[in-house]
Amino acid sequence: MTTEQPATRPGNPRFSSGPCAKIPTFDLSKLSDAPLGRSHRAAVGKAKLKAAIEGTREVLGIPDDYRIGIVPASDTGAFEMAMWSMLGERPAEMVAWESFGAGWVTDVVKQLKIDAQVHEAPYGRIVDMAALNYDNDVCFTWNGTTSGVRVPDGGVIPADRAGLTMCDATSAAFAQDLPWDKLDVTTFSWQKVLGGEAAHGMLILSPRAVKRLESYTPAWPLPKIFRLTKGGKLNEGIFEGATINTPSMLAVEDYLVALDWARSVGGLKGLMARADANAQAIWDFCESRDWIANLAEDPATRSNTSVCLKFTDDRIKDGATFAKAVAKRLEAEGVALDIGAYRDAPAGLRIWCGGTVETSDIEALLPWIDWAFHAEIAALGEPA
């Protein structure tokens, strides 16, 4: 097998799973309309925040009676805020099949100490979502960013559930179809599929989630940054752009620009098609090689955003060292940045395939993975 370098390099080597590649047309001058140095409570600031909320509703197809808020501390802030504000009214079902889901389990079991049933699956697999008790509150991650395993669809979530479904959809929103009628709380951050900036989280509430907030007060105190109600009523202002504390208007402008770009590629459908094409190129690559495979065992659960791969060649004795060396080699060549597996995940590569990534860049990257793999095998001193 040749170890000659491929002739073509990706135009953009940014395949990180967060912060993710910015929109292909990105240029800092596109942010020149940001109302910098102005109050976010001035009319101009409020209008921008409202546009971010309504643009989210339009592009994601979120029902009119769902509330959408911009909250502090990115996806983590949004999900934590939801858990700490709404859980405890009834038992919880905590679902985890990778690192971030496991983090939410820790919050609920060790910090909030809520009566919880924990359902776990190892990296590469998914929990049986049909086996959960939806009369309890169910917390889960739609797309496991660190394992490349996703919920295939929401078909098993009952329409007449008594509990709330709370979904961390940060690496799914804008790439996968989210069934809003099955999701009571949904969170994501701008830095993922739309390649926006970190810092702010999006919190999407169904009418049932609002009802919970207005009918239940947790036994524990809530810091100001988490408080979604005022005098027992929903703080509606948060869902109209009156944020709890000061947002970055530069980040807001960047999100608005990304939403405009999303519309220009066909909205949600266009974004999903772009992610699908990117992921498919990698799946096909793996299919025709016997030394690399998708970490997701069931093809129905393969992520189309955070595609996680493992090396399966018997000659590799130390998987972690090998995978790191491949990623390092690719980074040194400037053809792929940040594609090593997540620190807690099995050794391998993780290639972001969300819509801001061009399929031509994925296609240009793949021969380089061939090259780096064979170069590292050669370096092992094993027969190539």
Binding residues for ligand PLP, rule: CB under 6 A, are 18, 74-76, 100, 141, 145, 168, 170-171, 189, 191, 198
With beta carbons less than 8 A apart as the criterion, state whether 359 and 265 touch: no
- From first CA to last CA, the distance across the chain in angstroms is 7
Alpha carbon distance 204, 225 (integer Å): 17
Q: Catalogue the long-range contacts made by 281-289 (C-beta closer than 8 Å, 24 or more residues apart).
A: 281/359, 281/362, 281/363, 281/366, 282/307, 282/309, 282/351, 282/353, 282/362, 282/366, 283/307, 285/366, 285/369, 289/370
- Residue 148 CB, nearest distance to ligand PLP (Å)? 11
Closest CA to 137 of 66, 208, 70: 208
Handedness of CA 328, 332, 336, 342 (dihedral sign): positive
Pairing assessment for the beta strands 229-230 and 233-234 based on DSSP bridges: antiparallel
Report the nearest approach of ligand PLP to the CB of residue 345 (Å).
Answer: 11
CB of 194 to ligand PLP, least distance (A): 12
Instruction: Please report how close the Cβ of residue 230 comes to ligand PLP at its closest, in angstroms.
Output: 25
Contacts of 47 (CB under 8 A, 6+ apart): none
CB nearer ligand PLP, residue 103 or residue 179: 103
Question: Which CB atom, from 18 or from 55, has the smaller least distance to ligand PLP?
Answer: 18
CA 114 vs CA 87, 100, 108, 210: distances in Å? 8, 18, 6, 20
Closer CB to ligand PLP, 127 or 372, in the complex: 127
Quote the least distance from Cβ 215 to ligand PLP, whole Å: 28
Q: Between 17 and 206, name the residue whose CB sits nearer to ligand PLP.
A: 17
Angle at 92 between CA 89 and CA 93, to 5 degrees: 160
Per the listing, tokens 């940054």 go with 225
The residue (of 79 and 283) whose beta carbon lies closer to ligand PLP is: 79
Return the number of other C-beta atoms located less than 10 Å from residue 285's C-beta. 18
Would you tell me the crossing angle of helices 267-287 and 249-264 to the nearest 10 degrees?
A: 80
Considering the complex, state which of residue 75 and residue 93 has its C-beta at the smaller distance from ligand PLP. Answer: 75
Tokens 């925040």, residue located: 49
Q: Which is nearer to ligand PLP, 31 or 345 (CB)?
A: 345
- Looking up tokens 């993975």, which residue turns up? 369
Q: Give least dist CB 22 to ligand PLP, A.
A: 16
Of the pair 234, 309, the CB lying nearest ligand PLP is at: 309
- Minimum distance from residue 104 beta carbon to ligand PLP (Å): 8
- Residue 143 CB, nearest distance to ligand PLP (Å)? 7
